[in-house]
Chains A and B, each alone.
Chain A
């Protein structure tokens, strides 16, 4: 039993950290402010605040088509990644087979490799197998790359799972299949939701891998990218602001879910 040590104040370090926080947040804050600026994307100070750019954005059907495309890809990627990620996590947690270590590395590789490598290799695969580039190939790219995210989260969730519950279920006469659906999966609910949220957000924002796998139809990030080539308008600020807000909301929810499950574990230990 030790008393709580008082946290020492460190004013200089605190000031430095404030600057670091400013560095992290300021650019996006400026971007958001200028989405309301009448006079365009640059210059200083922003005057004539207006919602025109948002009005223009909402009337821009081309962008919303790509938003729909991104949503389709993201939802499909979530389904694929979660399924394969769950199986991979189960395999890593419970099965032993030759090359297991290599398998784990391979699954986690897209997380740490630059996107261009993953994108290009899949591009070559698509071409060699005669696939046309389209949203489907983008979906394949996202789904494959994001298995790593699903596996990581679900593996952590499995580790926290009380094995005794499954054993009790089998002991009471349920088949492994039934045990999986009625015991294992419900216990993984939090991990599944958290992983799904994260994969969804990452897929919506993904650009490096998608760059090489895109066909005629764009995803949202690539649509924005294309427009940037033509010139910067505050409409891009507006859509960026919206992307930022939605991402933040999703990530905060994801974080809360994770904290909730961590706190539940801590309670169980008492």
Chain B
């Protein structure tokens, strides 16, 4: 492995940090769930914590909400220590995965719940409840009981209930995972525009990388309790730092190449990579590259001279509507995936090519 172990490449938040997670460690018994994790969330940003189950993303969320205590480390919000406060004193609200609506209260009583804690006049309470319900388009269900609502409707009520308290930070624990695909897409759009409209900082947890990319200003990818990479969706897709990131977000071909005198060789592929990388210059020896399937195209004369060309047989063709995924057999067991615009069925051998700048060097692990 050529790239020296260095700090995670981070795109900083656009605004001043609202929430600072400082070296948080969390252990359950002997199991270490979060390992000295630090990150900042900017005011007004939509940050998504992405990862598999067991990555620690939900645990971190619960730490910020106050339902768990860190084993060590601190959490600060708006210049004040947060983790020493009990959950009911934090200006943080949560939208729970299964909504956690109070079954014995009506929709409007649910939404008004947090307001009743403080001293607030009846008229103001009624006004704010109405406004909140209108915002999520659930006003006509104000008197209904949660049991009578569908999943999507319950989710909106949970959202209104959390937002009415005007929290500084809204935590969303996989709120869309219980919805079916179409409803999910619709709610994604609504959440995004709601966040823009209100300007509240959202911390969103999901395991669905497409969802993360669609919604977020930045994505924080967690793996086994460690922050793998934190960057904007475009950044994290086009410049993944590790192989894990490259594979988790989108699809990729991982090329175990050998670099010698400026030329990278991997099976049937040869090309001249850019030797200076954002982290450190590439040196001779084994280097791991990430090549996205859409970067591979049919070879043609219009391509620049330094394109890497290779010949491969079409092993499989997976039709996908707008595009197709080709499995290419480059010989000696080397298989690559290429995404091309859909065309008629193909067989036989063809010439393919890719731009060297599309082969991104990545580390094995963080």
| A3 with B33: CB separation less than 8 A | yes
The answer to whether the Cβ of A7 comes within 8 Å of any Cβ in the partner chain is: no
| B68 with A5: CB separation less than 8 A | yes
Distance in Å from the Cβ of A185 to the closest Cβ of chain B? 38
Within the assembled complex, what's the spacing in Å between the Cα atoms of A267 and B331? 48
Within the assembled complex, what's the spacing in Å between the Cα atoms of A1 and B33? 12
| B62 with A2: CB separation less than 8 A | yes
Within the assembled complex, what's the spacing in Å between the Cα atoms of A5 and B58? 13
Contact-residue bracket for chain B:
10 to 19
| A1 with B68: CB separation less than 8 A | no
Within the assembled complex, what's the spacing in Å between the Cα atoms of A4 and B58? 12
Query: Which residues on the A side are within 8 Å of B68 (C-beta)?
Result: 3, 5-6
Query: Which residues on the B side are within 8 Å of A1 (C-beta)?
Result: 53-54, 58
A5: nearest residue on chain B (CB-CB)? B67
Query: Which residues on the B side are within 8 Å of A4 (C-beta)?
Result: 28
Within the assembled complex, what's the spacing in Å between the Cα atoms of A6 and B62? 12
Distance in Å from the Cβ of A58 to the closest Cβ of chain B? 52
Within the assembled complex, what's the spacing in Å between the Cα atoms of A5 and B54? 16
The answer to whether the Cβ of B59 comes within 8 Å of any Cβ in the partner chain is: yes
| B53 with A6: CB separation less than 8 A | no
Query: Which residues on the A side are within 8 Å of B53 (C-beta)?
Result: 1
Instruction: Give B187-234 interface residues, CB cut-off 8 Å to A.
Output: none
Distance in Å from the Cβ of B53 to the closest Cβ of chain A? 5
Instruction: Give B53-75 interface residues, CB cut-off 8 Å to A.
Output: 53-54, 58-59, 62, 67-69
Within the assembled complex, what's the spacing in Å between the Cα atoms of A176 and B53? 47
B28: nearest residue on chain A (CB-CB)? A3
Distance in Å from the Cβ of A6 to the closest Cβ of chain B? 7
Distance in Å from the Cβ of A181 to the closest Cβ of chain B? 42
| B69 with A3: CB separation less than 8 A | no
- Mask of A5-45 contacts with B, CB within 8 angstroms, 1/0: 11000000000000000000000000000000000000000
Within the assembled complex, what's the spacing in Å between the Cα atoms of A6 and B28? 10
Main secondary structure of the interface of B (DSSP, over half): mixed
Instruction: Give B106-126 interface residues, CB cut-off 8 Å to A.
Output: none
Query: Which residues on the A side are within 8 Å of B26 (C-beta)?
Result: 3
Within the assembled complex, what's the spacing in Å between the Cα atoms of A137 and B191? 72
Within the assembled complex, what's the spacing in Å between the Cα atoms of A3 and B54? 10
B29: nearest residue on chain A (CB-CB)? A4
A4: nearest residue on chain B (CB-CB)? B28
B53: nearest residue on chain A (CB-CB)? A1
| A6 with B58: CB separation less than 8 A | no
B174: nearest residue on chain A (CB-CB)? A1
Distance in Å from the Cβ of B225 to the closest Cβ of chain A? 12
B97: nearest residue on chain A (CB-CB)? A2
Looking at A3, A4, A5, A6, the one whose CB has the most chain B CB atoms below 10 A away is A3
Within the assembled complex, what's the spacing in Å between the Cα atoms of A186 and B62? 46
| B69 with A6: CB separation less than 8 A | yes
Query: Which residues on the A side are within 8 Å of B28 (C-beta)?
Result: 3-4
Distance in Å from the Cβ of B306 to the closest Cβ of chain A? 48
Query: Which residues on the B side are within 8 Å of A5 (C-beta)?
Result: 67-68
Within the assembled complex, what's the spacing in Å between the Cα atoms of A5 and B62? 10
Within the assembled complex, what's the spacing in Å between the Cα atoms of A3 and B173? 13
B54: nearest residue on chain A (CB-CB)? A1
Instruction: Give B35-67 interface residues, CB cut-off 8 Å to A.
Output: 53-54, 58-59, 62, 67
Within the assembled complex, what's the spacing in Å between the Cα atoms of A262 and B324? 51
| A2 with B69: CB separation less than 8 A | no
Distance in Å from the Cβ of B131 to the closest Cβ of chain A? 32
Query: Which residues on the A side are within 8 Å of B59 (C-beta)?
Result: 3
Distance in Å from the Cβ of B172 to the closest Cβ of chain A? 15
B59: nearest residue on chain A (CB-CB)? A3
- Mask of B57-97 contacts with A, CB within 8 angstroms, 1/0: 01100100001110000000000000000000000000000
Query: Which residues on the A side are within 8 Å of B54 (C-beta)?
Result: 1
Within the assembled complex, what's the spacing in Å between the Cα atoms of A1 and B68? 13
Within the assembled complex, what's the spacing in Å between the Cα atoms of A1 and B58? 7
Query: Which residues on the B side are within 8 Å of A2 (C-beta)?
Result: 58, 62
Within the assembled complex, what's the spacing in Å between the Cα atoms of A249 and B26? 44
Query: Which residues on the B side are within 8 Å of A6 (C-beta)?
Result: 68-69
Within the assembled complex, what's the spacing in Å between the Cα atoms of A2 and B59? 7
Distance in Å from the Cβ of B58 to the closest Cβ of chain A? 6
Within the assembled complex, what's the spacing in Å between the Cα atoms of A1 and B67? 14
Query: Which residues on the A side are within 8 Å of B62 (C-beta)?
Result: 2-3
Within the assembled complex, what's the spacing in Å between the Cα atoms of A4 and B33? 12
Within the assembled complex, what's the spacing in Å between the Cα atoms of A1 and B26? 15
Query: Which residues on the A side are within 8 Å of B67 (C-beta)?
Result: 5
- Mask of B15-35 contacts with A, CB within 8 angstroms, 1/0: 000000000001010000100
Within the assembled complex, what's the spacing in Å between the Cα atoms of A267 and B67? 29
Within the assembled complex, what's the spacing in Å between the Cα atoms of A2 and B67? 10
Instruction: Supply 11 A–B pairs (Cβ within 8 Å), ascending by A.
Output: A1-B53, A1-B54, A1-B58, A2-B58, A2-B62, A3-B26, A3-B28, A3-B58, A4-B28, A5-B67, A6-B69
The 3 nearest A-B residue pairs measured at CB: A1-B53, A3-B59, A3-B68
* Interface of B toward A, CB cutoff 8 Å: 26, 28, 33, 53-54, 58-59, 62, 67-69
- 9 more A-B residue pairs beyond the given contacts A3-B26, A3-B58, A6-B69, with a C-beta to C-beta distance below 8 A: A1-B53, A1-B58, A2-B58, A2-B62, A3-B59, A3-B62, A4-B28, A5-B67, A6-B68
